[in-house]
A and B are shown apart, each in its own frame.
Chain A
Amino acid sequence: MNAPQRPAAGPASLSRPEAPTQRWRLKQGGLIDRGQALSFRFDGRRMTGHPGDTLASALLANGVHLVGRSFKYHRPRGILSAGPEEPNALVELRGGARREPNTRATQVELFEGLEARSQNRWPSLRFDLAAVNGLAAPLLAAGFYYKTFMWPAAFWEKLYEPFIRRAAGLGRAPGSADPDQYERSHLHCDVLVVGGGAAGLMAALAAGRAGARVVLLEEDCALGGRLLSESESVDDRPAAEWLNGMAAELASLPGVRVMLRTSAFGLLDGGVVAALERVSDHLPLPPPHLPRQRYWKIFARRVVLAAGAIERPVVFGGNDRPGVMLAGAVRSYLNRYAVLPGRRAVVFCGGDEGWRSVADLAASGARIEAVVDARPEVPQAQAQLAARLGVRLVAGGRVLGTQGRSRVASVRFADAQGREEDVGADLLAVSGGWNPSLHLSCHLGGRPRWDERIHAFVPGDLPPGMGVAGAAGGQFTTHAALAEGAREGVAAARDCGFPTNGPDIPRAEDAPRELVPLFHVPHGRGKAFVDYQHDVTDKDVALAHREGFRSVEHLKRYTTLGMATDQGKTANVTGLAVMANITGLGIPGTGTTTARPPWTPVSIGAIAGPHRGKRFRPARRTPLHDWEAAHGASFVEVGLWYRAQWYARPGEAGWRDSVDREALAVRAGAGVCDVSTLGKIEVTGPDAAALLDLAYANSISNLAVGRVRYGLMLREDGFVMDDGTVARLAPDRFFVTTTTVNAGKVMQHLEFCHQVLRPHLDVSLLSVTDAWAQVSIAGPNARKILEAALDPGTDLSNAALPHMACTEVSIGGVPTRLYRLSFSGELAYELGVPADYGEATMGLLMERGAPFGLTPYGTEALGVLRIEKGHPAGGELNGQTTARDLGLGKMVSQRKDCIGRRLAERPALIDPMRPVLVGLKPADGSAPIRAGSHLYAPGAETHTANGLGYVTSACFSPTLGHPIALAVLADGAARVGQRIRVLDPVRNGDVEAEVCSPVFVDPEGGRPRG
């Protein structure tokens, strides 16, 4: 299922003639389905390829080598690699809302109708005007911008920066919302294997056979790793055949899960591996009900890192010209994709690896013009191969430069004696050795170790639970990969409690990999690139050194080396090597390159998953929500809740009309408001009162059963945390309410007080916010309405149920709690019914209340009523006010220990000049006062030092017929009756107000007791 099928070259594939565009397609071989042609467009030009192609291989099959322009100099760029390390072949894939900029053509699986465009060029890819930047290159060296664009000072932002910004960047973001879906998933396993090449397959097999739960992640669309690209045999069979067998066995093991097109992009603390599965990226559109991508969090007990290695290019003049290709990538295109990347090739290498491409190129019919091997002595086997193929061998040679307009036309090299020569060629295959893909081993801070044997970094101290196998650990032969994979699979399974001896190791190639260090050819012809994508050259590295930017991090940051979308996969180690040549300290003495997540760029949408648009956060709706919606409510977001804000009626011109009507209805008759969102907590147990005494500033233990008290909660630093009510239902049972916004915080705080500060107390806490539908019935007619609505037999007289008392009643036969308390300042009750009965209760209340003018009101009218009454709420409880500031200082009991009591006594918090709560009304009787305005003495200069306070809440009072506000004001009590200037410069407000008591309505407080 997962392994590649090598289509038989037979009459079937001949029956359908090859599209004439694919002139560079080899006549046979490859893991492509020649039976089917896929049509695609690049920069508008229509071409064809086959299933199994990448966009890169299909472009090469059509002879397209120029695919992009570089970041800074806009140099023509081609296809360097065949994998995730590609720095050059970045395209805009798809279009419209699905446009994906900076997409690596080497990883895009070809699909029917694929559209791609080259980036960062104008007007066209072949003729890019910004290529003149190349002429100014001496001015544009590393860090040049730090030294210039400073004169005249104003020009940077007006002229230089906009120009630089437009010139920079690569592709374009889509212009509208992403139409696709994304998912998040979790996965638990014993052994996670990262990489499905020879090593990873053996690790998965070993652990899977032992009975461990195994997950194998492979970034590619097929298992096999380098085996897909090499002409090798395993177990004396063609590699593809062996891979099919492996895939079949893994599929048959019940505990093994193979995930293709899935990149492990991060290792996080606790051994969590983050991975991205590209579910539908290889298709024209995601199929119905499938996401485009899926973000996985994988919890594995052991991880085997078998991520392979990345070949590195060599720094020499013109090493960026299209037609310069990594030698391993050349073999990928030949063997896997059946594409000839060039007809006349030069191979430049530092060791045996490059020679594998010599053999494969020759077998594919390419003419090899020269093999430039940096080794003075080339081993006999290779020399014989050269002789057999009639290939010119330049031992101890160096490539100095390339020529050609938008593709390599000739290569200049020097032999061991320094004699220079040009040779015509359209392909230059380069191998400077391989860098293990050790990234995941670094994500938790592990430092790689320099290995002189392979001239590369290998994983150093491994994170807990990780093993490394194969090329990721610097073992490059297929035999070593198989053996190490088996070994690590066995070890991981054993660690998880699945003892096993492991599978037999299949026979496979085990040829030596001799290599001399070959990073840089100094003094070549033309620009020599270290970091292709960011256009960092060897001269930039030298300049960084000259200017003192010698540590690896300074080098990176000063030159931007390794900071592009490829994150320096082909550049970092080489850059370090170039620097080491200058410092003379050797590579390990010069520094270490390490890696941070993500291994490969990850879609932002995939991480966000389904939490987008309206589903960004969960929505909480009260049990009365549907009733409210049906009765014309507008809703407002309050925390996660949607609350009814007001109920518009026909003929009302705007929200103010509705709110004024609702507030007046409460004052004149009665209103009903949904307060289900208030936090509700049941506190039970013999020590419940003791806990509440600690948590609340005022005393709770002396509250009588059947009574309710306003409760004030402080933070330990002495500022107000929250307020609410406490009802004592029984000696050992309290019902506590909190503000809507602080419900979670207060619950957590009470649990802290109990479990951490008073663990010996026998008390339990239960959040019951969602269990109750709770409404407030407020207004002079409230009692009459309840008498009409409640089941007969309830005595609501002042004697039976005075202000601040509570009782159990029933309504429509449903047991109901009734609390007589008032936020509005009117005669008021809160009625709590089990949530499921909320809607029915509301209907009953409205029906029985209609004769008494019962009017539903929303949060806006609620706010107006409480401001008129001077009750502190959100604007006042802003975390910066103390109980004293709000006029509640006397509530803080001095007779007991409570949270926040001691620090509230700090000198600055009892300073008599601290602003305290006052009321404000416009001096002219009509000017609006807005919350957020600042207060000044009339005539005082309006600088900060003279500020006296600010407006915390404001509204139009329909009861009084003019605007009112609450504010905190320095020396506020003494200023009552005085004028104050209310400044609101951000809204051009500047009015005078009269300071007054914060209680605008019923200052004697008789109404709620009525």
Chain B
Amino acid sequence: MHYSIFSLLRNALSGNRLWTPAWRDPEPKAFYDTLIVGGGGHGLATAYYLAKEHGITDVAVLEKGYIGSGNVGRNTTIIRSNYLLPANTHFYEKSLQLWEGLEQDINYNAMISQRGVINLFHSDGQRDAFARRGNAMRLAGVDAELLDADGVRALVPGMNMNDARFPVQGGLLQRRGGTVRHDAVAWGYARAADRRGVDILQHTEVTGIRVEAGRVTGVETTRGFIGARRVGLAAAGNSGRVAAMAGLRLPIETHVLQAFVSEAIKPVIDTVVTFGAGHFYVSQSDKGGLVFGGDIDGYNSYAQRGSLPVVEEVMECAVALFPAFSRLRYLRQWGGVMDMCMDGSPIIDRTPVDGLFLNCGWCYGGFKATPASGWCFAHTIATGAPHALNADFRLDRFATGAVLDEKGAGAQANLH
């Protein structure tokens, strides 16, 4: 059913009894042109753009649990394109542009809120690094502003800027950055893909990838074998395990990242703020909860839970930056497992197996990438070759040395 003021009113007058399922629950067919493994944001977006941009609708999305149960349902909802390296800047800017038109495109309100994202700096060296990044953005046609301390103070009230262990000197602001209602992204793409004929198969876990003579022919699942001409893997968090089914070994470790939300309060902070003297960022949801994120726990983990040191670090940073938050309470915490890539940047590429495509390595930048990831992956699958936007996200860049290391942290997964 198309969502409009008309459909809403008609339902309101009939006890909301006319609404139909947002997506079908079909039986798997024996064969699809294209299978997407992973019913998270990226997989669902890929299916949608395959149908919309390339007319490929004989597509099924295979999800081992319920759709959106991975990181699209377990993140801190932030979108931005404030990257340094050209490959990343252009890709994430494409993503931000797709976010900007998404709601009308998929007829689903994901509550995209471009309230601004600010990264604080606390030293001259940090300022210069952010200036370099801001300049890279501006030269790529992306909005960026370097604020001094007064500019930051005007934008974000209530922050402890001076009487601090690491006083705030300024910040790099991207006004077009912001937040999105994360679950709605999965549901919106699922519904839009479904309406174009894509089969969404929940509770269908892939247990094997069938390769014959160097070419993929389908996947084994908990609901039987499903044949396909092409298979795209979009199983971030579990990419290594899925790729291993096709004999691939990836430059990826799976790590857990925690996030926290406070009790709902009246609006106190209208910008996404990233601390520069600790691992911490915060925004306030439309419901009023403060959403906090921090660093990964640092050890390999497939369990969607973390440990106390990160909780403590995040809360210390919260109070350091916003001393009035001390008396607020956090009420929920969760962990998401993610592909930490050896250079901190993603991989969207073909693989050595014909017809098998790979989308992985998102570290904790995956949520904001969802639209462009789906868009580029769909292009790569449909045409058999990467789009210019993902041409640098190659699997073999570690062998060539053309790595994309935004932070200069080196080949250690947990440092990115």
Interface residues of B in 254-312 (CB under 8 A from A): 262-268, 277-278, 284, 286-288, 303, 305, 307-308, 311-312
Q: Is A269 among interface residues, defined by CB-CB distance under 8 A?
A: yes
A543 proximity list for chain B (CB < 8 A): 16, 19
Do B264 and A170 have beta carbons less than 8 Å apart? Answer: yes
| CB-based nearest A residue for B288 | A169
Report how far A712 CA is from B263 CA in the complex, Å.
50
Q: Is A944 among interface residues, defined by CB-CB distance under 8 A?
A: yes
A269 proximity list for chain B (CB < 8 A): 305, 307
Also in contact, A985 and B139, with CB within 8 A (given A177-B324, A551-B66, A553-B73): yes
| CB-based nearest A residue for B158 | A175
Interface residues of B in 74-104 (CB under 8 A from A): 86, 89-90, 101, 103-104
Cβ contacts A533-557/B at 8 Å (1 or 0 each): 0000001000100111101011001
Report how far A572 CA is from B274 CA in the complex, Å.
34
| CB-based nearest A residue for B312 | A607
Q: Is A11 among interface residues, defined by CB-CB distance under 8 A?
A: no
Q: Is B222 among interface residues, defined by CB-CB distance under 8 A?
A: no
Q: Is A381 among interface residues, defined by CB-CB distance under 8 A?
A: no
Q: Distance in Å from the Cβ of B139 to the closest Cβ of chain A?
A: 6
Q: Distance in Å from the Cβ of A646 to the closest Cβ of chain B?
A: 13
Do B334 and A879 have beta carbons less than 8 Å apart? Answer: no
Do A71 and B402 have beta carbons less than 8 Å apart? Answer: no
Do B328 and A139 have beta carbons less than 8 Å apart? Answer: no
Q: Distance in Å from the Cβ of A265 to the closest Cβ of chain B?
A: 10
How many residues on the A side are at the interface (Cβ–Cβ under 8 A)? 120
Q: Is B409 among interface residues, defined by CB-CB distance under 8 A?
A: yes
Partner of A565, one of B113, B263, B278: B263
Interface residues of A in 365-401 (CB under 8 A from B): none
Q: Is A857 among interface residues, defined by CB-CB distance under 8 A?
A: no
Interface residues of B in 5-46 (CB under 8 A from A): 5, 7-9, 11-13, 15-17, 19-23, 25
Do B326 and A718 have beta carbons less than 8 Å apart? Answer: no
Also in contact, A598 and B330, with CB within 8 A (given A166-B267, A170-B263): yes
B286 proximity list for chain A (CB < 8 A): 161, 164-165, 168
Q: Is A934 among interface residues, defined by CB-CB distance under 8 A?
A: yes
Do A169 and B287 have beta carbons less than 8 Å apart? Answer: yes
Cβ contacts B125-142/A at 8 Å (1 or 0 each): 101111111111011110
Cβ contacts A140-173/B at 8 Å (1 or 0 each): 0100111111110100110001001110111111
Q: Is B346 among interface residues, defined by CB-CB distance under 8 A?
A: no
Q: Is A7 among interface residues, defined by CB-CB distance under 8 A?
A: no
Do A546 and B21 have beta carbons less than 8 Å apart? Answer: yes
Report how far A551 CA is from B107 CA in the complex, Å.
23
Cβ contacts B385-399/A at 8 Å (1 or 0 each): 000000000000101
Q: Is A880 among interface residues, defined by CB-CB distance under 8 A?
A: yes
Q: Is A930 among interface residues, defined by CB-CB distance under 8 A?
A: yes
Q: Distance in Å from the Cβ of B293 to the closest Cβ of chain A?
A: 14
Do B308 and A102 have beta carbons less than 8 Å apart? Answer: no
Do A934 and B122 have beta carbons less than 8 Å apart? Answer: no
Cβ contacts A198-237/B at 8 Å (1 or 0 each): 0000000000000000000000000000000000000000
Q: Is B329 among interface residues, defined by CB-CB distance under 8 A?
A: yes
Q: Is B400 among interface residues, defined by CB-CB distance under 8 A?
A: yes
- Which of B115, B139, B284, B333 has the most chain A CB atoms closer than 10 A to its own CB? B139
Partner of A178, one of B130, B311, B323: B323
Report how far A274 CA is from B306 CA in the complex, Å.
13
Q: Is A83 among interface residues, defined by CB-CB distance under 8 A?
A: no
Partner of A613, one of B113, B163, B262: B163
| CB-based nearest A residue for B292 | A604
Also in contact, A175 and B326, with CB within 8 A (given A145-B109, A148-B109, A153-B104): no
Do A297 and B308 have beta carbons less than 8 Å apart? Answer: yes
Report how far A878 CA is from B287 CA in the complex, Å.
40
Do B25 and A879 have beta carbons less than 8 Å apart? Answer: no
Do B263 and A596 have beta carbons less than 8 Å apart? Answer: no
Q: Is B156 among interface residues, defined by CB-CB distance under 8 A?
A: no
Report how far A175 CA is from B263 CA in the complex, Å.
16
Report how far A272 CA is from B308 CA in the complex, Å.
9
Cβ contacts B358-381/A at 8 Å (1 or 0 each): 000000000000000000000000
Report how far A907 CA is from B202 CA in the complex, Å.
44
B328 proximity list for chain A (CB < 8 A): 101, 173, 603-604
Q: Is A138 among interface residues, defined by CB-CB distance under 8 A?
A: yes
Do B160 and A177 have beta carbons less than 8 Å apart? Answer: yes
Report how far A40 CA is from B114 CA in the complex, Å.
44
Q: Is B108 among interface residues, defined by CB-CB distance under 8 A?
A: yes
Report how far A880 CA is from B136 CA in the complex, Å.
15
Do A539 and B3 have beta carbons less than 8 Å apart? Answer: no
Also in contact, A612 and B19, with CB within 8 A (given A553-B73, A950-B132): no
Cβ contacts B332-365/A at 8 Å (1 or 0 each): 1110000000000000000000000000000000
Partner of A560, one of B5, B287, B323, B324: B287
Q: Distance in Å from the Cβ of B331 to the closest Cβ of chain A?
A: 4
Do A596 and B334 have beta carbons less than 8 Å apart? Answer: yes
Also in contact, A156 and B111, with CB within 8 A (given A548-B21, A612-B323): yes
B23 proximity list for chain A (CB < 8 A): 548
- Which of A145, A551, A907, A932 has the most chain B CB atoms closer than 10 A to its own CB? A932
B318 proximity list for chain A (CB < 8 A): 604, 608
Do B316 and A616 have beta carbons less than 8 Å apart? Answer: yes
Partner of A611, one of B25, B166, B284, B316: B316
Do A879 and B410 have beta carbons less than 8 Å apart? Answer: yes
Report how far A553 CA is from B278 CA in the complex, Å.
32
Do A603 and B131 have beta carbons less than 8 Å apart? Answer: no
Q: Is A513 among interface residues, defined by CB-CB distance under 8 A?
A: no
Do A719 and B408 have beta carbons less than 8 Å apart? Answer: yes
Do B16 and A944 have beta carbons less than 8 Å apart? Answer: no
| For the complex of A and B, 7 pairs with smallest distance between CB atoms | A879-B408, A932-B131, A169-B288, A906-B401, A605-B326, A177-B323, A178-B326
* A–B Cβ pairs within 8 angstroms, 17 of them: A157-B112, A170-B264, A173-B328, A558-B183, A602-B329, A603-B326, A603-B329, A617-B166, A637-B165, A717-B411, A879-B408, A931-B131, A932-B127, A932-B130, A942-B139, A943-B139, A986-B145
What would 7 more interface pairs be, CB under 8 Å, given A145-B111, A612-B326? A170-B265, A173-B327, A547-B19, A604-B328, A616-B317, A944-B139, A985-B135
**Footprint of A on B, CB under 8 Å?**
3-5, 7-9, 11-13, 15-17, 19-23, 25, 65-66, 68-69, 73, 86, 89-90, 101, 103-104, 107-115, 122-123, 125, 127-136, 138-141, 144-146, 158, 160, 163-167, 172, 181, 183-184, 187-188, 202, 262-268, 277-278, 284, 286-288, 303, 305, 307-308, 311-312, 315-320, 323-334, 397, 399-403, 405, 407-411
**Footprint of B on A, CB under 8 Å?**
71, 97-102, 138-139, 141, 144-151, 153, 156-157, 161, 164-166, 168-178, 180, 182, 184, 266, 268-269, 272, 274, 297, 443-445, 539, 543, 546-549, 551, 553-554, 557-558, 560, 563-565, 567, 596-598, 601-605, 607-609, 611-617, 619, 636-638, 715-719, 721, 874-875, 878-880, 903, 906-909, 930-934, 942-945, 947, 950-951, 953, 983-987
